[in-house]
Amino acid sequence: MQLRCAVLDDFQDVAAEMADWSEIADEVEVVSFGDHFTDEVTLADALADFDIVVTLRERVPFPASLLARLPRLRLLIASGMRNTVIDYAAAEAHDVTVCGTPSSSTPPVELTWALLLGLARGIVRESNALRTGGPWQSTVGADLHGRRLGLLGLGKIGGRVAQVGLAFGMRVCAWSQNLTKERAEEMGVELAASKEELLAGSDFVSVHLGLGDRTKGLIGAAELALLKPTAYLVNTSRAAIVDQDALLAALHGGRIAGAGVDVFDIEPLPADHPMRSAPRLLATPHLGYVSRANYETYYSAAVEDIQAFLAGTPIRRLG
């Protein structure tokens, strides 16, 4: 009997064309779901007849309660090699193998700069005005050259964002709890004296930290108050690093020039979520890793993971 594989959150209906699924067609039936399941009961009902599930990034949590509802599940594949929303102990207890895929850091770097440039030059506002008969020039762009770019985090993504900033002629500084002077010097950037100094002295601030106990709520109302009224904040990392209510208050109060956000406390955003109507906000629907090259990598590797699992030799195991 054929196994059944569910591909979750295929919003663009492209999973089928991003990999050669025919390689497993004789043994596995693949079904894509284009709508996001918002509650565990509905998701469990939808997945009840599936042996394999492919999920993108950390969009769908797989806690012990959900895994217990899926007695048929044998293989769970998550894109990337790090996932904090899967209960690995519960997966093992239910005899579910968890595997990952390769992932590129290039797309989130590029999206970070798309948001930063869009904010600095008022791209969306000016484009909308041009297309709808609005005013011819209504904004004065913020310069990048000579301005200070503050990076919270200088890892794989933050380091590449820094290199682009330097190419624009920006003064780049960085800070995180673990960042050393040696790492900063290696990347050609300044080590900020503190988080507070970075926030207070930067014209643009971009978040590139992993989410953990030390970074959750790292940027709250007190930290946002340190930013210049002409400063911009960009977050393509994790929503919980920046207090969402505090950010909304800062935007509505005009206490910062604007924010570029790709991550949210609830995803997909409900239609009435306040982030959808916040002023001074350039927002995208978590597009950081959504690129053709990354999707081709994710889904092709998912096929490889399935083949290896069927052969009894799972690869890229997580947990």
**Enzyme catalytic residues:** 238, 267, 286
> Nearest 5 degrees, angle CA 111-CA 115-CA 117?
115
| Six token digits for residue 44 | 């469990």
Q: Which residue has the tokens 């955003």?
A: 269
For helices 123-131 and 106-120, the axis angle rounded to 10 degrees is 60
| Six token digits for residue 265 | 């406390």
* DSSP character string of 39-60: SHHHHHHHHTT-SEEEE-TTSS
Phi–psi pair at 123, nearest 5 degrees? -60, -50
Q: CA 221 → CA 224, 245, 247, 250, distances in Å?
A: 5, 9, 7, 8
* DSSP character string of 239-257: GGGB-HHHHHHHHHTT-SS
d(CA 213, CA 210): 10
